[in-house]
């Protein structure tokens, strides 16, 4: 049974890192004209109300996207602009943000005529909300398992591929399943760009995923980790992403973005970037 609801966490520091990496990847891939098949294997409900009871209960956006919003006038990297533009279009006022866009919305904002977006969501209520939003968009919604569903769709019709894998990791085996799906997807589409999010936990469970990817035949895997300067003693102490086949120069541009918002008036984090698997 699925119990995770992203509405409790939308716009937190992990979403800021994830969506910064996603929008940067889309911008950089679209420097070339050829079409991109985009897949969002764990899409969520697309639009999140930051004034909702769920969001207010955790207040996670206050130390995430709200901090980015507060320092937006000081960021030096121009790569923040597409993300800030979407936030300002969705939010009327200058002060508190009230709406946060989930991954399908970020993808949708970039979609060109030759690009496509397929989303997967298994939770019934989240799937209903996603489908409601997507009905007015050029977005396909599949209400099935995102990992198995992705493999059925590969290789895509378009010459290029971008996949976001963002599970809730409610089941311990999710870490191994993500790694084995990446291996299978990569075998079907080696040139694909794969972005895989994982939590950094005090228990260290995420190491299973990193070890499995390191021991697979997948090459060119960048690892971006954001560590909280004041982590809780248990639970999530940071947010990580594995980025397979990132565009050339992506590492420097993501580092510059994260440096802009790492200070104590920003996300109050340390950002680390290393190659988990070189070319
Ligand atoms: N990617 C979203 C974003 O960035 O806005 C957030 C996704 S949230 C972390 C994970 C989502 O995956 C939840 O909505 C959950 O219901 C859904 N989910 C869980 N298991 C799934 C599965 N096997 N296949 C597809 N979706 C699943």
- C-alpha of residue 167 to centroid of ligand 1, in Å: 5
Contact of 279 with 49, CB cutoff 8 Å: no
Is domain 6-277 annotated with CATH 3.40.30.10?
no
Q: What is the four-CA torsion angle of 184, 185, 189, 195, rounded to 10 degrees?
A: -140
Per residue in 183-194, pLDDT (tens digit) is 999 999 999 999
Question: Given this model, what pLDDT does residue 203 score?
Answer: 93
Contact of 36 with 161, CB cutoff 8 Å: yes
Write down the domain spans for the chain: 6-277
- C-alpha of residue 43 to centroid of ligand 1, in Å: 5
d(Cα 49, Cα 164) in Å, to the nearest integer?
Answer: 22
Confidence of residue 43 (pLDDT cuts 50, 70, 90): very high
Per residue in 206-257, pLDDT (tens digit) is 999 999 999 999 999 999 999 999 999 988 999 999 999 999 999 999 999 9
Per residue in 69-79, pLDDT (tens digit) is 999 999 999 99
Per residue in 251-274, pLDDT (tens digit) is 999 999 999 999 999 999 999 999
Active site residue 166: yes
pLDDT at residue 92 tops 90: no
Eight-class DSSP state of 103: H
Per residue in 142-189, pLDDT (tens digit) is 999 999 999 999 999 999 999 999 999 999 899 999 999 999 999 999
Question: Given this model, what pLDDT does residue 2 score?
Answer: 83
Confidence of residue 279 (pLDDT cuts 50, 70, 90): confident
Q: How many residues does the chain have?
A: 279
Closest atom of ligand 1 relative to the 40 alpha carbon: 1
**pTM of structure:** 0.98
- C-alpha of residue 76 to centroid of ligand 1, in Å: 32
Percent of the chain that is helix, strand, coil (3-state, to 5): 40, 20, 40
Closest atom of ligand 1 relative to the 126 alpha carbon: 14
Cβ burial, residue 172 (10 Å; 0-12/13-18/19+): exposed
Q: How many CA atoms lie within 13 A of 206 on its CB side?
A: 19
d(Cα 47, Cα 166) in Å, to the nearest integer?
Answer: 16
């Amino acid at each position: 049974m699925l119990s995770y609801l992203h509405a409790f966490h939308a716009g937190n520091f992990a979403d800021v890192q994830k969506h910064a990496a996603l929008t940067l990847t889309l911008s950089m891939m679209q420097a070339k004209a050829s079409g991109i098949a985009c897949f969002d294997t764990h899409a969520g409900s697309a639009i999140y109300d930051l004034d909702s009871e769920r969001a207010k209960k955790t207040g996670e956006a206050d130390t995430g996207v709200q901090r980015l919003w507060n320092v937006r006038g000081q960021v030096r990297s121009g790569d923040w602009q597409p993300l800030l533009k979407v936030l300002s279009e969705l939010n009327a006022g200058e002060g508190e943000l009230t709406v946060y866009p989930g991954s399908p919305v970020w993808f949708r904002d970039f979609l060109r005529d030759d690009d496509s977006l397929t989303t997967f969501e298994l939770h019934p209520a989240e799937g209903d909300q996603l489908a409601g939003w997507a009905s007015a968009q050029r977005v396909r919604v599949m209400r099935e398992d995102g990992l198995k569903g992705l493999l059925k769709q590969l290789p895509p019709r378009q010459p290029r591929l971008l996949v976001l894998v963002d599970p809730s990791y409610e089941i311990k085996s999710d870490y191994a399943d993500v790694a084995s799906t990446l291996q299978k997807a990569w075998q079907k589409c080696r040139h694909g760009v794969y972005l895989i999010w994982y939590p950094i936990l005090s228990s260290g469970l995420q190491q299973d995923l990193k070890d499995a990817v390191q021991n697979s035949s997948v090459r060119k895997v960048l690892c971006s980790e954001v560590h909280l300067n004041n982590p809780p003693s248990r639970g999530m102490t940071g947010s990580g992403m594995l980025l397979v086949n990132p565009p050339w120069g992506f590492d420097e541009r993501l580092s510059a973005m994260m440096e802009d918002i790492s200070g104590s008036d920003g996300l109050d984090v340390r950002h680390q970037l290393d190659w988990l698997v070189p070319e």
